[in-house]
Amino acid sequence: MEGGVFSAHKPTYLLLLLHIFLLALLPFKAISSPKTQAEALVSWKNTFAPAPPSLSSWSLTNPNNLCNWTAIVCDQSSEQVSQIDLSNFDISATLTYFNFTPFLKLTQFNLSGNYFTGPIPSELGFCTNLTYLDLSSNSLEGPIPSPIGQLRKLQYLDLSYNSLNSSIPSELGFCTNLTHLALASNFLQGKIPPSIGQLRELQYLYLHMNSLDSSIPSELGLCTSLTYLDLTSNHLEGKIPPSIGQLRYIQHLDLSNNSLNSSIPSELGLCANLTYLALASNHLEGKIPSSIGQLRELKHLDLSYNSLNSSIPSELGLCTNLTYLALASNHLEGKIPPSIGQLRELQYLDLHMISLDSSIPSELGLCTSLTYLDLTSNHLEGKIPPSIGQLRYIQHLDLSNNSLNSSIPSELGFCFGLTYLDLSRNQLSGSIPLTLGNLAHIQSLDLSNNNLNGSFPTEIAFPLLGNFYLSHNNFTYNTFVGKSDLCRDARGLSRGCNSKKNNKKVIIGVLVPVCGLSVVATTIALILMFHKKTRRVLKKIHSAQNFENFESMILQEEVKFTFGEVVKAIDDFHEKYCIGRGGFGRVYKAELLSGQVVAVKRLNMSDSNDIPAINLQSFENEIRTLTNLRHRNIIQLYGFCSRRGCIFLLYEYLERGSLGKALYGVEGVTELGWATRVKVVKGLAHALSYLHHDCSPPIVHRDVTVNNVLLESDFEARLSDFGTARLISANSSNWTHIVGSFGYMAPELALTMRVTDKCDVYSFGVVALEVMMGRHPGDLLESQLSKSSQSMKEDNAELFLKDLLDQRLEAPSNELARAVVLVMSLALACICTRPGSRPTMLYVAQKLSARSLPSLPEPFGMLTINKLMGI
């Protein structure tokens, strides 16, 4: 083999021989004294543009100090330079002016991470004692000089991330001690020299991101020490040499993004230590060899974007360590082998567009680690197996563009972590299961182009939903109507919004979840119905001349301003007064001439022709009740107005904003100490206790969240957003259009649709926990929901209270610790799954206001959640 190298590069090699011969004649001793080395370094440094200050020690004022210069290491005995490490010195220069001859003893030379330009000088070949050479991450150009083959002691060579544009010199094959060879990300052309097979010690070979072409030499199989081989993103063609099976120690093999067009050699199955195998984006043909099942250590397998045909070998199920499996975009046909269920570690499975037919095996449900599953664009038929509900960690599920024809299994609702769900372009029938309401994290939902019927369950609300497609189904739109800007967010419904024919079919039950307008929508609908049908004016106030007459208005008796004044104060809803916006519309801050400040919520609703009649008297009573509420912990609703199809709610304005803002804003920690947090929770408890127990009839707020609690300057809590509060009475408690915010909504609400004061108790519990924990207690709630309360106890047995509390604050002590423990134990009681087991708000408020706090059953640091739930 060496002979081959010689003949191929005879001229260069002879030249090199000549060099060495001439060098041999030179008086070495004289050349490589410390003095000549110092002079060579300084004159090189003088060509740096500019020389970095960190190299100030490089100076001829005291050349005897050479061994103490920055970046220089000397050989102990000879006191000559043995190592130069200028890595990451921000040097802009070339190697052209570096005189190599005084440095023939150099063993390490590191210029990585600078701005060196120009060629690599052939003289480098003189430094035959080099073991480590790193010129990576510069802008070196031109060829890799073939004299580099003289560096026989080289163990580590890194020329990656430069602009070298020659072929790889076959002389590299002489550097037989190389363990690490990196030439990645250059413009290297031509072939991988067969001489590479002489590098028997080579463990790491990085040639990715070049322009290498022709085929992979079968001699590569001789590099039997290889553990890591990366040839991605070149133009390699032809076959994968079967000799690759000789790489017994290889762990990482990546040949992706080339033009390889053979079949996958079954010899690959001999590389028993492979953990990472990627052959994606080539033109590979034939079958996936069943020998792949021998790769028991395999964690990552990517064969996507090839022309593989025949079926998926069931032996894949033997690779039980797989976490990533992608076979997408091939012609595999047939079925997903049931053996896939053995891949319990699998997190990522992409089988899109590989012509699969038959049905989805229910064994897929055994792959319980899955977070990503893509089966789109196959010919899968039959049903979505209910076992899919076992995929508790799944976040991305795409079954679109198949021929699935079952109904949507209600078990899908157990996939709590789903953020992306696409079932579009199938033949799914039946109605949407209520359990989809569990998918609190969903951001994109596409059910379009199926045969789904029924109505979209109104109790499903997705707070994070950004993309939502329902079109081309057989839904009946039998509930409320509303056409609004909100539709813009629901792209799937946009057809419905834009075409006159359909725009009455948009249900508010859909708008509510889509737009995150959980709260106010129902009231708005009610208000709209009210004003359109009756045009009844309860208390008409003379309007400012610039504005149209208001279509209806209710203002609290003692309010001293007119709506016209409000509109004037905010310059007819000028942007600059807008202090917040949401799916529902905008909030403006109006500073009236009198100095009073009010908040105006503007809700855009324009087309309400189709609203069914409602009990106007009861609605009127409701608004009156809300404006007449008086409690120090409840925000004042001054009134409402409507004008030009817009609804306005006038509220008291609080400078400090919401509890959520305080909790998660920049100043959250410093402002909200333990005492303040306890105070906030206490205030909220009193507000709810007042609504539930002091109002007649009682009022359920229905949407208690950290965003609906506002804070006064002294951190007194004020409950706001009474938009949806409904009077409880025997006949109105069965309220089919449930609104509420996910993460705060009592679990029974989704099942029974029955709104009771216990729903508020639950939401209060969540808010109280959130205030104390400094984050939403989602995990706690989930563990409680999905398990019996007994197992929750077991689960949380070892969970210490101190670990649950907001870690940004120091743990409370003494009196405060007792107050915090009381709040936490009450909050935990409030989130009981069984509504009947939750305390009343009256009880909670009284407990929190009691003169003496209960003493701790154990030292604060020892208290577990379990213990707390028993208190």
Ligand X SMILES: *[C@@H]1O[C@H](CO)[C@@H](O)[C@H](O)[C@H]1NC(C)=O
Q: How far apart are CA 348 and CA 325, in angstroms?
A: 6
Contact status, residue 311 vs residue 336, Cβ threshold 8 Å: no
> Exactly one of 254, 422, 489, 703 is catalytic; which is it?
703
Q: How far is the CB of 139 from ligand X (least distance, A)?
A: 10
Of 94, 110, 376, 401, the one binding ligand X by CB under 6 A: 110
Which 3 state secondary structure label does DSSP give 599? Answer: strand
| Residue 413: closest CA among 381, 440, 431 | 440
Q: Which residues contact 558 (CB under 8 A, 6 or more apart)?
A: none
Q: How far apart are CA 601 and CA 598, in angstroms?
A: 10
Q: Which residues contact 850 (CB under 8 A, 6 or more apart)?
A: none
**Binding site residue list:** 601
One-letter amino acid at 339 equals S
Give the DSSP letter of residue 138: S
| 177 lies in the binding site for ligand X (CB under 6 A) | yes
In the bound state with ligand X, the residue whose beta carbon lies nearer, of 304 and 763, is: 304
| 661 lies in the binding site for ligand X (CB under 6 A) | no
Of 320, 498, 549, 813, the one binding ligand X by CB under 6 A: 320
Of 474, 628, 734, 807, the one binding ligand X by CB under 6 A: 474
| 657 lies in the binding site for ligand X (CB under 6 A) | no
Q: How far is the CB of 231 from ligand X (least distance, A)?
A: 11
| 153 lies in the binding site for ligand X (CB under 6 A) | yes
Q: Which stretch binds ligand X (CB under 6 A): 61-69, 358-366, 542-550, 695-703?
A: 61-69
Measured distance between the N- and C-terminal CA atoms of the chain, rounded to whole angstroms: 82
| 257 lies in the binding site for ligand X (CB under 6 A) | yes
Q: How far is the CB of 522 from ligand X (least distance, A)?
A: 27
Q: How far is the CB of 77 from ligand X (least distance, A)?
A: 9
| Residue 174: closest CA among 211, 128, 218 | 128
Q: The tokens of 631 are what?
A: 């409690």
Q: How far is the CB of 39 from ligand X (least distance, A)?
A: 17
Q: How far is the CB of 446 from ligand X (least distance, A)?
A: 19
Q: How far is the CB of 107 from ligand X (least distance, A)?
A: 8
Of 17, 18, 272, 614, the one binding ligand X by CB under 6 A: 272
User: For the chain, how are helix, strand and coil distributed in percent, rounded to 5?
Assistant: 35, 15, 50
Q: Which stretch binds ligand X (CB under 6 A): 128-136, 217-225, 441-449, 761-769?
A: 128-136
| 142 lies in the binding site for ligand X (CB under 6 A) | yes
Tell me the number of residues near ligand X by CB under 6 A.
Answer: 39
If you compute the radius of gyration of the chain from its CA atoms, what whole number of angstroms results? 37
| 105 lies in the binding site for ligand X (CB under 6 A) | yes
Q: Give phi and psi for 326, each to the nearest 5.
A: -130, 120
In the bound state with ligand X, the residue whose beta carbon lies nearer, of 257 and 796, is: 257
| 248 lies in the binding site for ligand X (CB under 6 A) | yes
| 112 lies in the binding site for ligand X (CB under 6 A) | yes
Q: Which stretch binds ligand X (CB under 6 A): 103-111, 525-533, 594-602, 720-728?
A: 103-111
Contact status, residue 448 vs residue 423, Cβ threshold 8 Å: no
| 132 lies in the binding site for ligand X (CB under 6 A) | yes
Q: How far apart are CA 507 and CA 521, in angstroms?
A: 11
**What per-residue string of b and e applies to 250-274 under the rule 16 or more CB within 10 Å gives b?**
bbbbbbbbbebbbbbbbbbbbbeeb
Q: Which stretch binds ligand X (CB under 6 A): 232-240, 627-635, 716-724, 725-733?
A: 232-240
Q: Which stretch binds ligand X (CB under 6 A): 229-237, 497-505, 811-819, 830-838?
A: 229-237
Q: How far apart are CA 450 and CA 74, in angstroms?
A: 75
In the bound state with ligand X, the residue whose beta carbon lies nearer, of 24 and 666, is: 24
List the interface residues with ligand X, window 432-461 (CB under 6 A).
451, 453
Look up 703 and say whether it is catalytic: yes
**Binding site residue list for ATP:** 601
Q: Which stretch binds ligand X (CB under 6 A): 102-110, 487-495, 709-717, 812-820?
A: 102-110
List the interface residues with ligand X, window 760-819 (CB under 6 A).
none
DSSP element (H, E) containing 525: helix 521-534
| Residue 133: closest CA among 103, 161, 154 | 154
Of 179, 314, 321, 403, the one binding ligand X by CB under 6 A: 321
Q: Which residue is at the shortest CB distance from ligand X? A: 87
Q: How far apart are CA 324 and CA 350, in angstroms?
A: 8
Q: How far is the CB of 226 from ligand X (least distance, A)?
A: 12
Q: Give phi and psi for 283, each to the nearest 5.
A: -120, 35
β-pair partners for 474? 453
Of 46, 47, 54, 68, the one binding ligand X by CB under 6 A: 68
| Residue 433: closest CA among 412, 449, 455, 410 | 410
Q: How far is the CB of 267 from ligand X (least distance, A)?
A: 13
Q: The tokens of 497 are what?
A: 């919004």
β-pair partners for 181? 157, 205
Q: Which stretch binds ligand X (CB under 6 A): 124-132, 286-294, 731-739, 819-827?
A: 124-132
DSSP element (H, E) containing 254: strand 252-254
Q: The tokens of 61 are what?
A: 């004022």
Q: Give, in order, the Cα–Cα distances in Å from 544 to each of 439, 564, 576, 700, 762.
A: 48, 5, 21, 36, 45
Q: How far is the CB of 360 from ligand X (least distance, A)?
A: 23
| Residue 577: closest CA among 561, 597, 562, 596 | 597
| 152 lies in the binding site for ligand X (CB under 6 A) | yes
List the interface residues with ligand X, window 280-309 (CB under 6 A).
296-297
Of 37, 94, 114, 134, the one binding ligand X by CB under 6 A: 134
Of 146, 195, 233, 330, the one binding ligand X by CB under 6 A: 233
In the bound state with ligand X, the residue whose beta carbon lies nearer, of 319 and 442, is: 319
Q: How far apart are CA 476 and CA 603, in angstroms?
A: 26
Q: Which residues are catalytic?
A: 703
Interface positions with ligand X (CB under 6 A): 64-65, 67-68, 87-88, 104-105, 110, 112-113, 128-129, 132, 134, 141-142, 152-153, 156, 165, 177, 233, 235, 237-238, 248-249, 257, 261, 272-273, 296-297, 320-321, 451, 453, 474
